[in-house]
Amino acid sequence: MSGDITYTPISVGHTTHYQPGVVYLGTLCDDGVTPAPLKEGEKYRCMIVGRNMTTSSDTCVIVSKDPVSGTVTHKVVPSPIPEGLYQLTATRVGGEVLVFGGSGPRDTLYSYCIEKDTWRQIGKSGQWPKARFQHSAFCLGGKLYIGGGYHNGYLSDCWRYDPSTERWAQLADAPETFSVAADSVVGDTAHMVGSDNNYTLHLTYTQTKGWTQLSLPFKVYRAAAVSVGTDIYVLGGYDHQDKVG
């Protein structure tokens, strides 16, 4: 198998540092999560947002790949994201990308419109989550959810943001605090796996049932998680290096 794989280094204009946001920008299926098949002339596109060790002022870079030629290109998009911001979250919610929090910590919320290719900062109004970094974020039902993270201690609170009203609502706290969890959504359920303060953490959240507390059969924290069909693959991280769960 290894003889059939070719590794080619490609510059994408962004050297990541401490958990940047990476978001797919192409068309999605009806579930709002799964990438849809490309139409003729379309390209694969993803966004990298956050601290950039290549050019510090380029805090938002969009990378594209032509499925026919295989050519990879990138462009810098001017954004209000501060230089040096890391451990933020960037979440695809419909036709926009929502970036919340990050080092500092911060409580700012930014919106990127995919169609218009423009950024804006959302003004504060009504209830608003406290500043945090190392938190989790996911999309369910066309709304942004954030929870956990760190600010003078580990957090367990959970918030829902509705893009149609630009308002936050505080929800029930998670059963325990968590930070730097690996997040993935399968169907109508968000999963948070591993935490700095609980290596066997496995929390789930649904819009109808809220939080459920489970436990992993292995230890891991600061890992990555990706969903493939109805399965979640947990890769790397501490205490789980060189393994796939």
Q: For 143-193, what is each residue's pLDDT tens digit?
A: 999 999 999 999 999 999 999 999 999 999 999 999 999 999 999 999 999
Distance between CA 111 and CA 54 in Å, rounded? 24
Contact by Cβ (8 Å): 182, 137: no
Residues whose CB falls within 8 Å of the CB of residue 116, separated by 6 or more in sequence, listed in order: none
Distance between CA 44 and CA 41 in Å, rounded? 10
Strand partners for 168: 161
Whether residue 101 is found in the same domain as residue 217 = no
Whether residue 45 is found in the same domain as residue 123 = yes
Whether residue 189 is found in the same domain as residue 240 = yes
Last residue of a domain, one of 173, 189, 219: 173
Range of the domain at 221: 180-245
pLDDT at 237 over 80: yes
Confidence band, pLDDT 50/70/90 cuts, at residue 245:
low
Please tell me the predicted confidence (pLDDT) of residue 216: 94
Q: What is the CATH number of the domain that holds 36?
A: 2.120.10.80
Contact by Cβ (8 Å): 46, 30: no
Whether residue 160 is found in the same domain as residue 40 = yes
Confidence band, pLDDT 50/70/90 cuts, at residue 127:
very high
Distances (CA, A) of 97 to 45, 119, 136: 13, 9, 15
Contact by Cβ (8 Å): 25, 114: yes
pLDDT at 2 over 70: no
Whether residue 209 is found in the same domain as residue 139 = no
Whether residue 134 is found in the same domain as residue 53 = yes
Provide the whole-model pTM: 0.93
- Using CA of residue 90, residue 93, residue 97, residue 103, what is the dihedral sign? negative
Residues whose CB falls within 8 Å of the CB of residue 171, separated by 6 or more in sequence, listed in order: 145, 158, 159, 160, 210
Confidence band, pLDDT 50/70/90 cuts, at residue 32:
confident
Confidence band, pLDDT 50/70/90 cuts, at residue 239:
confident
Q: Please choose, from the candidates 196, 191, 125, 127, the residue with its C-alpha nearest in 3D space to the C-alpha of residue 160.
A: 127
Please tell me the predicted confidence (pLDDT) of residue 228: 87
Contact by Cβ (8 Å): 238, 222: yes
**How many domains would you assign to the chain?**
2
Give the mean pLDDT of the chain.
93
Whether residue 123 is found in the same domain as residue 222 = no
Distance between CA 15 and CA 241 in Å, rounded? 22
Whether residue 187 is found in the same domain as residue 147 = no
